Structure formats: C-alpha cells, structure tokens
Amino acid sequence: MQIIRGFRDILPDNIWIWQKIEREAVKLFKDFGFNEIRLPILEKTEVFARSIGEVTDIVEKEMYTFPDRKGDKLTLRPEATASMVRSYVQHKMYASDPIRKFFTIGPMFRRERPQKGRYRQFYQIDAEIFGIAAPYADTSLIFLLNELFKRLGLKDLTAHINSLGCPDCRPDFQKALLDLLESKKDELCVNCLRRKDTNPLRTLDCKAPQCRAALKDAPSTIDFLCDECKEHFAIVKKTLRQQGVEFIEDKTLVRGLDYYTRTAFEIQTRSLGAQSAVAGGGRYDLLVKEMGGPDIPAIGFAIGFDRLVEVMETLDKKVEKETLDLFIIAIGKPAVKAGYLWSTNLNLQGIRTEVDYRGKSLKALMKRADKLSARYVLIAGEKEIKEKTCILRNMETREQVVIESDKIVQETIKIIKNNN
Ligand code: AMP
C-alpha cells in the first residue's frame, strides 16, 4: 500500500530537526507572551470560504472539501488563521480581554501540485495577535520570526515587507491597477486575464515573464496609502531598522489571501529553489468583524515547517544522531529476565537502555551494541549471573569494571552520569 500523493511520512531519521525547531519556537513564543491554542483540522467549509476569499487559488482549487455522512460541507483546514478567528469569535474571547496572543502548530492541507517544498499535507507554525492596532504588533511578529531563524542558525533569509493599505486607500489603487490591466490585456497570461476580473491584486505576484514585463510599471499599493496607513508603515520600517532587522521593501508582495490589510510580510530563502517563502503573514484588521465578531484588529504569520526543516537540512551541520547510553548483553534466561528489570529501572532514571531478548551470541550482541552506538555495554553472561556480578564496559575507552548484581542500577547510573 502506498501513501497518498503529496502526503509524507516524517521518519525518525530527521525528526530531531522538527523537534529542535519546535522547542526553539515554543520557547520564544512563551517568552514573548503567546499561549498555545489547539484547533480542529476539520471545519465547516464556510469558515475558509468566507475568510480566505471565494476567488483565491486556495478556495477555488486547493481545498479538500467533502460532504460528511449527513451532507454538511466540511474542509480540511488549508491554513490556521481562519480557524483561529472562528475560535476567538465563537468563544467571545474579546469580551474579557480583546488582546490575545496565540500560537498553534499542526498540519494543513492544500491540493497543490506536489514538488519539493510543496506538499498536500504540510505543517505550519502559526502565531496571531488579536486586539493591537499599533504597528508594534507588526514589528514584534517580524522581530520574533527573525530571532527564531537566528537562533536556528539560518543566515540566507530575507524579510520582504509591503503595505496593502486599508478600505480607504484600496479603491484608488484598484482603479489604477484595473485601468492598466485593461490596457495590457493582450499581453497577460490566461490566469491573469481571469484574475483581472476576479482578484486583480494577484496579477502583481504572477511569475509569468509576459505578465512581469507587462506589469513592470504597475501601480503599487504603497503609492496609494492614506495618511494613517502611510504612518503605520513608516513606523514599522523605522522600528525594524532600530531593532536591527534587515528587510526589503517589496512592492510585489501581495500575498494570496483576501483578508490582508496594511502590513504584509514574507521571509524568503535562496536555498530552496522555486519554493522560496519560508514564512508569511500580515495584518487582517477586518476579518474578526467579517466573521461575526466586533471590530478588532489582528495580525499573524505562518511558518512553513516543512520548508524550514529543508533549509536546516542544507546547513552543513553535524547530524544529531540518537545514541544509546547502555546496551545490556544478557546471555541465558535468568540474565535476560534480570536485564529486562534493570533496563526498566534505568529507563526510569533517564538512562537510555536497551536489552536484546533474542538469545543471540556474545559476538552478535557486541555487534548490535556498535550498531546502536551504545556508550556502555553491560555484560551479564551465565558465569556472571552465577557469580552475582556483571561487567560494565565503556565502549569508547574500553575500560571495564565489575559490578555486583544487586548494585547494578545504582552503580551504572553513577558511572554513566559521571561520564556525561
Ligand atoms: P501561506 O499560508 O500560503 O501564507 O503559507 C505560509 C507558509 O507555509 C509559506 O511561506 C510556506 O513556507 C508554507 N507553505 C504553504 N503552502 C505549502 C505547501 N503546499 N507545502 C509546504 N509548505 C507550504
């Protein structure tokens, strides 16, 4: 049997990278005052259709949507923000305190064309801030992302930022863009021809060369910002500079979803080829209200966990191989039984211990100890059991000590912990 196309098993071989990233991220989130929230992976389709926007690639083409047995239309979540807002509104979290900072980590589902860095089930690390309109919410998220990547040892990353304006400044921009698209319609790709009528903003990040050429002098949202949006964006940029966060102001950064307002940002890398965005986010000041809540601003980001792991894998770093503290070589039934009991007690004390129950020879078991990269081996043969002693061997220095059987657990712990 084979796994579904675009889905992957994340195997124990490199799970340590996933765990390391998660540890660093959770620590930073906690230090910056974010609380974890866990959300379902299945939601009513309308949660995504209404928030992400009916005419976006995700909603039009990529969602896993199906009726359940009673005919309700359900969707495997393609992103976390919509569910986050649904939860914030449903539980009226704003009533006791509108200011909330959440993070969540989990799988998302999009039926895109699978390739390296793009999967149909992928993972995101997601953070959102509700209730803060000030530009410092924007800078704190970008700063946090930057810090996380720094702590993970990543260098080749660039933050791209843009401002998409608000309902006050969008109409003038949209008119200017539509005028241009109309005048260039013979030069656009078929997708952009469609986008012109459905979601014109998306034409600005089309990668097709003919669209790039036709739209090279396209108006950009930042040229149309109202005074308030202008000031907001200016503070974001100035603060990031003060905090030493490098960024590029990128007029073509429009992001794929309808709900963004003002600051939009993306962290890009050159080490992953076509799938260059490692994280993306932005402000969505209108979404809480659109989803039935009060008028509360919000902003968030999503890190592509799979891609972050892939960037980490390109680093020339030593692979953290799992090692074993102790391998018990037990020969004969009484020794195997004793070995099992010792190993459980040692495991309880934080000593990674394994025993082999297959009744193999000393030579075969020494080989296995090597294969498992055991730091120590405890040899309990028939002779040793009779004499009520065992041999503890340091596999690196080859030093051996004899330990009395009834002191195995304490003595082994002492020796192994002293040599850590
Ligand atoms: P988005 O929700 O589209 O802004 O995506 C946020 C981040 O998730 C992107 O920057 C990517 O790193 C990652 N991402 C999005 N789609 C996929 C996918 N199909 N496979 C792997 N990672 C993805």
Tens-digit pLDDT profile for residues 252-290: 898 766 678 999 999 998 877 777 899 999 999 999 999
Task: Kindly state whether residues 34 and 130 are assigned to the same domain.
Answer: yes
Mutate to test the pocket of ligand 1, among 307, 310, 311, 312 (most ligand atoms within 8 A of CB): 307
Task: Kindly state whether residues 146 and 90 are assigned to the same domain.
Answer: yes
Q: Whose CA is nearest to atom 4 of ligand 1?
A: 280
Domain count, the chain: 2
Interhelix angle 408-418/333-348, nearest 10 degrees: 50
Q: Please work out whether the CB of residue 304 comes within 6 Å of at least one atom of ligand 1.
A: yes
- On the question of pLDDT at 24 being above 80, the answer is yes
170 vs 284, more confident: 284
Specify which residues 394 forms β-bridges with: 376
Averaged pLDDT for residues 161-167: 94
Which domain-ending residue is among 259, 278, 313? 313
Q: Whose CA is nearest to atom 2 of ligand 1?
A: 79
pLDDT recorded at residue 206: 83
Q: Whose CA is nearest to atom 10 of ligand 1?
A: 279
Task: Kindly state whether residues 98 and 122 are assigned to the same domain.
Answer: yes
What is the residue range of 373's domain? 326-413
Q: Please work out whether the CB of residue 302 comes within 6 Å of at least one atom of ligand 1.
A: yes
pLDDT recorded at residue 199: 82
* Span from the CA of 198 to the centroid of ligand 1 (angstroms): 22
Task: Kindly state whether residues 239 and 356 are assigned to the same domain.
Answer: no
Mutate to test the pocket of ligand 1, among 162, 275, 276, 310 (most ligand atoms within 8 A of CB): 275
| Residue 188: inside a domain | no
| Residue 196: inside a domain | no
To the nearest whole number, what is the mean pLDDT of the chain? 92
Task: Kindly state whether residues 97 and 123 are assigned to the same domain.
Answer: yes
Which domain-ending residue is among 262, 292, 313? 313
Task: Kindly state whether residues 17 and 121 are assigned to the same domain.
Answer: yes
Which domain-ending residue is among 278, 313, 348? 313
* Span from the CA of 304 to the centroid of ligand 1 (angstroms): 5
- The domain that holds 332 is classified in CATH as 3.40.50.800
Positions of E strands within 311-414 = 324-330, 353-355, 374-380, 389-394, 400-404
- 218 is written with which tokens? 């396209």
Which atom, in ligand 1's list, is nearest to the CA of 255?
A: 4
- The domain that holds 278 is classified in CATH as 3.30.930.10
What is the per-residue pLDDT across 342-374, written as a single tens digit (0 to 9) for each? 999 999 999 999 999 998 999 999 999 999 999
Task: Kindly state whether residues 295 and 331 are assigned to the same domain.
Answer: no
| Residue 256: inside a domain | yes
Residue ranges in 111-260 assigned as alpha helix (H): 135-151, 170-183, 190-198, 209-214, 227-242
| Residue 236: inside a domain | yes
Task: Report yes or no: 307 and 270 within 8 Å, Cβ to Cβ.
Answer: no
